[in-house]
């Protein structure tokens, strides 16, 4: 397939691109004019780099590429900032306009990247069919508004639309302030770590597994909403304990007293819909953390 990808140099986008190229797909990746491109993804017959933004896209090049599908992954994701940033509103409007133009150029299949925190968090596995949608952050509300707008457009204009709700990706290439990488860095410096929400349990999915899940959704031409998660919940405490064992550290981890309340204390996917498409994870949490640790050590 010919795949137009926004957010192509990001954590999800670049890893998806590697797998898509390995499967023989052609990718046109939209990247900012001043962005450094991944060194292992040079331009080739199957890899085109397009310079521009959602608001100022290279439409002549996009039209010439003739994408079969557009995967829209571009959004603000800066840890500690993105959940309440007013930039979310800009991305919402820019995304609507960009995807409308993509559709007008003849692309019949659009995949949007959503978020697990669009759901009402209840302490139960989150299901596309059963769990209510009740976003509480600006980020989640804007993502959900884009989904609603695109679903209405798909119904009115007859194109295929998929909304992929991503859970908690981790692995080599993640932002250094993400949970797993930040713990590794502190342990490597023998710094004390205080777990503010030790029992907070999330669905962490290794980045290679997430890329494979997204590729499965694309190749199966799935329409509708689908969870991209491992289906397994792991607590902050368990991650820290696993890394302590792997790194041979002792006495460096404690929990806050009292611990803080995490409004997203249990966020785990019901991924039965994804599994029915034939996807299975290739990595356990321990295996994924080992890969991440090896990457940090190599650097």
SS (H, E, C) the chain: CEEEEECCCCHHHHHHHHHHHHCCCEEEEEECCCCCCCCCCCCCCCEEEEECCCCCCCHHHHHHHCCCEEEECCCCCCCCCCCCCCHHHHHHHHHHHHHHHHHHCCCCEEEEEEEHHHECCCCCCECCCCCCECCCCHHHHHHHHHHHHHHHHHHHHCCEEEEEEECEEECCCCCCCCHHHHHHHHHHCCCCEEECCCCCEECEEEHHHHHHHHHHHHHCCCCEEEEECCCCCEEHHHHHHHHHHHHCCCCCEEECCCCCCCCCCEECECCHHHHHCCCCCCCCHHHHHHHHHHHHHHC
**Percent of the chain, pLDDT > 70?**
100
Per-residue model confidence (pLDDT) at position 299:
86
Query: Prior bond to 258 cis, omega within 30?
Result: yes
**111: confidence class by pLDDT, cuts 50, 70, 90:** very high
**Percent of the chain, pLDDT > 90?**
99
Q: How do residues 88-103 score in pLDDT, each as one tens digit?
A: 999 999 999 999 999 9
Mean pLDDT of the chain: 97
Examine the pLDDT at 41 and tell me if it is beyond 90: yes
Q: How do residues 125-178 score in pLDDT, each as one tens digit?
A: 999 999 999 999 999 999 999 999 999 999 999 999 999 999 999 999 999 999
Per-residue model confidence (pLDDT) at position 190:
97
Mean pLDDT of 241-251: 96
Considering the entire predicted model, what is its pTM? 0.96
Domains (ranges, CATH) in the chain? 2-169+206-228 (3.40.50.720), 171-202+232-267+282-298 (3.90.25.10)
Mean pLDDT of 245-266: 95
């Amino acid at each position: 397939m010919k795949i137009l990808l926004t957010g192509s140099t990001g954590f999800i986008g670049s890893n998806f691109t590697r797998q898509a190229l390995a499967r023989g797909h052609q990718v046109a990746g939209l990247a900012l004019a001043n962005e450094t491109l991944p060194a292992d993804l040079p331009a080739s017959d199957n890899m085109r780099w397009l310079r521009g933004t959602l608001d100022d896209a290279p439409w002549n090049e996009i039209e010439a590429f003739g994408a079969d599908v557009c995967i829209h992954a571009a959004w603000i994701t800066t840890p500690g900032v993105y959940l309440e940033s007013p930039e979310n509103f800009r991305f919402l409007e820019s995304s609507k306009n960009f995807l409308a133009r993509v559709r007008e150029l003849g692309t019949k299949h659009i995949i949007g990247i959503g978020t697990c925190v669009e759901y009402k968090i209840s302490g139960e596995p989150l299901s596309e069919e059963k769990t209510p949608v009740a976003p509480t952050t600006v980020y989640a509300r804007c993502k959900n508004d884009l989904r609603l707008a695109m679903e209405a457009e798909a119904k009115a204009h007859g194109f295929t639309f998929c909304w992929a709700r991503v859970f908690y990706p981790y692995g080599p290439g993640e932002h250094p302030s993400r949970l797993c990488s930040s713990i590794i860095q502190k342990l490597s410096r023998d710094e004390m770590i205080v777990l503010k929400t030790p029992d907070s349990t999330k669905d962490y999915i290794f980045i290679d597994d997430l890329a494979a899940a997204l590729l499965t959704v694309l190749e199966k031409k799935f329409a509708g909403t689908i969870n991209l998660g491992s289906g397994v919940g792991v607590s902050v405490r368990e991650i820290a304990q696993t890394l302590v064992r792997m790194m041979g550290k002792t006495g460096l981890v404690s929990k806050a007293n009292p611990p803080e309340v995490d409004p997203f204390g249990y966020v785990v996917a019901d991924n039965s819909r994804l599994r029915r498409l034939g996807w299975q994870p290739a990595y356990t949490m321990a295996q994924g953390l080992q890969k991440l640790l090896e990457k940090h050590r190599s650097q």
